[in-house]
Amino acid sequence: MMSLHTSPLEQPGTGDAGGMNVYVSQTAVEMARRGIEVEVFTRATSSEQPPVAELAPGVKVRHVPAGPYEPLGRDELPAQLCAFTSGVLRAEAFHEPGHYDLIHSHYWLSGQVGWLARDRWGVPLVHTAHTLAKVKNRALAEGDTPEPRTRVIGEEQVVAEADRLVANTPVEARELIGLYDADPRTVSTVSPGVDLDRFTPGSRSAARAELGLPEDAIVLAFAGRIQPLKAPDVLLRAAATLLADRPDLAARLVVLVVGGPSGSGMEQPRALRELAVSLGIERQTRFLPPQPGRALVNVYRAADVVTVPSYNESFGLVALEAQACGTPVVAAEVGGLPVAVAHGVSGLLVPSHRAADWASALASLVLRPGRLAELSVNAVPHARRFSWKKTTDALLATYSAATSAFDYHLRSEVAV
């Protein structure tokens, strides 16, 4: 697997670490459980990182030196593609020819490396975009920066060269075909999953006690990277609107924001806190850094509603994780979120990013305990339709199709 710009060893929720990190680590570990050896190539960001680390038995993470030993912005990473590719090819050169059977690249930067390695090693390339520049640029948040032409061209090249393309949802599959001229025969739709052993229903009282939240609070939560694309500001504006309509809720409302700055949000890391002050809801708003493991489960269990107000989401793993914990989700009706959230069953989809519309949707749940309880009950079985085992089954079927169709004379030509 190629995951150049972010490592599966990193904590999701800040920097470039997010749902893709979870996807790579979970599918790699699941494949290893089935006896498939997996190596994940990622860029080294510290001189203290070992050349090879074990993510789990059967899964190695290779830290490839490429550029300075520090995190780089995505706009800086294209300049390191040659160095990263050289490191990847050098690692393979220490093995007998045919050591790797298949390459799965994640995100367009990795796809560029995977394309070159594919031609050098004579093996199939499967690619997952995770996000697409043309789609993001169609739905930019106010003040956000458009994706550069360099990325658009890079994505087009990878789509043209990959042997198989994996889309998270039918919507993304149509975008690959319609916006990038992908061959429909090469596109497979594979839904991401959720860790159903970790994300489970539990005591709301215990979770709130762990987080220091009042038992009778109305808790609206956001978990993710703090950047315009993820739109946590929509939740804050909706909460302010809700309080303007129902000032009696001021003593009970808690807006819980969990995550760290990322992408264009790094330019103004305190902007969200300043927005809370300007909206007059600083007393109701709590900020927490990204939460690992059990602590994140407590966030989901403690919330009455988890919100996903993104302007674009290829899927939305946070929505699945929250529902698996029995917490309804209010999400923007964009990208893959209509797949991750069953509207009116396990949560609600909001067709805009207007504060009034979000306040109305949130009020329709938190002010109607019976309705909230109904969606909470439905959330768990909906989330259980998705698992990393199912995702891995579908990926392995895609790998098999790519392998069967691959022209292996390329490998013999390369060997010569």
Task: Choose among 213, 200, 271, 230: nearest CA to 18.
Answer: 230
Instruction: Report the binding-site residues for Mg(2+).
Output: 300-301, 303, 327
Q: List alpha helices for 60-188, DSSP H.
A: 81-93, 108-121, 133-138, 149-161, 170-180
d(Cα 296, Cα 307) in Å, to the nearest integer?
A: 14
CA distance 346 to 366: 14
Question: What distances in angstroms separate CA 292 from CA 9, 19, 312, one per listed residue?
Answer: 12, 13, 24
Is the separation of the CB atoms in 28 and 38 below 8 Å? yes
Return the structure tokens found at 166.
């994996």
Region for 285 from its dihedrals, namely left if φ exceeds 0, alpha if ψ lies in -120 to 50, beta otherwise: beta
Binding site members:
5, 11-12, 16-21, 74, 107, 131, 151, 225, 230, 291, 300-301, 303, 313, 321, 327
- Are the C-beta atoms of 257 and 235 separated by less than 8 Å? yes
Rounded distance between C-alpha atoms, residue 413 and residue 416, angstroms: 5
Q: Which amino acid, residue 73?
A: G
Instruction: Point out which residues pair with 38 in neighbouring strands.
Output: 59
Beta-strand pair 52-56/59-64: antiparallel
Numbered residues of the known binding site for UDP-N-acetyl-alpha-D-glucosamine: 11-12, 19, 225, 230, 291, 313, 321
Return the beta strands (E) in 253-364 as ranges: 253-258, 285-288, 305-308, 329-332, 347-350
Tell me if 144 sits within 8 A of 39, measured CB to CB: no
Give the E-state strand segments of 208-303 in sequence order.
218-223, 253-258, 285-288
Phi, psi of 415 (to 5 degrees): -60, -40
How far is the first Cα of the chain from the last one, in angstroms, to the nearest whole number?
26
For residue 317, give both structure tokens. 């793993």
Pick out the residues of the known binding site for 1D-myo-inositol 3-phosphate.
5, 16-21, 74, 107, 131, 151
Q: Are 382 and 342 in contact (CB under 8 A)?
A: yes
User: Which H helix or E strand runs over 281?
Assistant: none
The stretches of 246-292 forming alpha helices (DSSP H) are 271-279
Residue type at position 186 = T
